[in-house]
Structure 1
């Protein structure tokens, strides 16, 4: 595998191989990749978890990391993404982690550069490494995905996490339900009430309201959104005893999730962040070895 840009492109076997490799890294420690590889992280949108997690994974693998800051790059002078990538290819970079606001930005790159592309998030499209770390966290908890009931709730239409996880979880045998305002469902079928789904859900995955991607005025915000669509303390009490709460971050306390639930016993939010390092190590290793 030379690139990782979408969960749709991964087979069930490829997904499980990455999860198993991440598990090995987590349980047996970190070993540097043999040989010398150079990587760079091109983030054209804000990021804390994904960017820093990739940087930690790269350092643990002993990779040479070339710093890149979009606010100080030639993109401000009109350079295209393709030309930026070709420049880094000429310099000798082996792989690029790219986050970009354009859906499917990678389509202009694949097949036109020898550099391996890892998608760190494209617009409202895909976020494969977030999906993989979510899968890893779920697998650690339940051991399997077959017939698990996963509830994804929030700003579905603008969420690359929702799309990536819907593709992967369904492929692996889970049942996925979406909960959101009808106008936020996009191409997915959704429900409008917690009452129908909360008691049967094994995983409740909450998503941030992405204000920056809404062109029209948002009609649900703050307390009103929390009361109707957020995970409140009362709703958490209705969850199964062994059910878990997940969130890709960043989270808005008191909006999509009650402040008290972020670190409650059911929450795996910070475990997801920890697991992100091991997953990204596994992805980097798989992609870089796939170049040979």
Structure 2
């Protein structure tokens, strides 16, 4: 049973196979799987958790309920022992979101499929896959598409996962952010220099919980300097689209009226997330790729 831990571990053929399979599920194909899974979410989540639960429902999987507040984690149990417990009782796959970056390194020796639902500021592979699916459906290709990722690059697992996969698949990727948030990536502070030439404007959530954002910017100043304003949207090229992994700070990363505008694919991304996660569950439990 293969794990899905990071986009850095996936070959192009596997990525495209997962996207094609997700497309088949979107078109109505169903391939129920016998098995039991559990969602171990140690950080808050709406889209990822509920999307996995919907995908699990469509795949006919049994899903064990798990609540951190009522688990032995509070008694000091390690993540390794929690996952080994799931393995011992017959769970086939665990979906884990955890605040610790690369938490999965401590799970070597676990004989259960591990699907990374987000690790700290590290990776978010299923979000990247659903983003890739959205771009692929829009343009019929990924190679040569210009994607501009805007926001808190250093703290964004979405940015890191997408940067790796998009470049590997031949896309042109630009980063826009305050210098303090560039991390290891070469970036610009001037979205206006890219707005007329990019195919995809991918806005990132300002992650208030990971650093003191207020010390750098007010909401108004951030929106003016780095946000997708109404004026910037008007300058976008014909056929260019808007993406955002959500949750959205409306009026900060993106003007409220643009969240559901004609260019926006934000809710399409969410819909695609169910089909991608169906493909990932099949991949993890049956090894299909």
- TM-score in terms of structure 1 length: 0.97
- DSSP-derived class of the 2:283 partner: helix
Partner residue, 1:14: 14
- Is 1:92–2:77 an aligned residue pair? no
- Is 1:30–2:27 an aligned residue pair? no
Partner residue, 1:50: 48
Which piece of structure 1 moves more, 19-28 or 269-278?
19-28
Distance in 1 between residues matched to 2:215 and 2:171, nearest whole Å: 31
The counterpart of 2:273, out of the listed 270, 276, 280, is 276
Which piece of structure 1 moves more, 17-26 or 191-200?
191-200
Partner residue, 2:177: 180
1:37-74 CA-partner distances (Å, limit 9, x unpaired) = 11000000000000000000001000010010111111
Partner residue, 1:62: 60
1:196-252 CA-partner distances (Å, limit 9, x unpaired) = 111110000000111111157531131111011100000000101100000000001
Cα pair 1:155 1:209 within 8 Å, conserved: yes
Distance in 2 between residues matched to 1:221 and 1:29, nearest whole Å: 47
The counterpart of 1:235, out of the listed 213, 217, 232, is 232
1:172-217 CA-partner distances (Å, limit 9, x unpaired) = 0000000000000000010011221111100000001111111575
Write out aligned runs for 1:120-269 (5 A).
120-214=117-211, 218-269=215-266
> Over aligned residues, Cα RMSD in angstroms?
1.1
The counterpart of 2:102, out of the listed 84, 101, 104, is 104
Instruction: Give the ranges of 4+ consecutive aligned residues of structure 1 lying more than 2 Å apart after TM superposition.
Output: 28-31, 215-218
Gaps of 5+ in 2: none
Distance in 2 between residues matched to 1:192 and 1:27, nearest whole Å: 41
Distance in 1 between residues matched to 2:235 and 2:213, nearest whole Å: 34
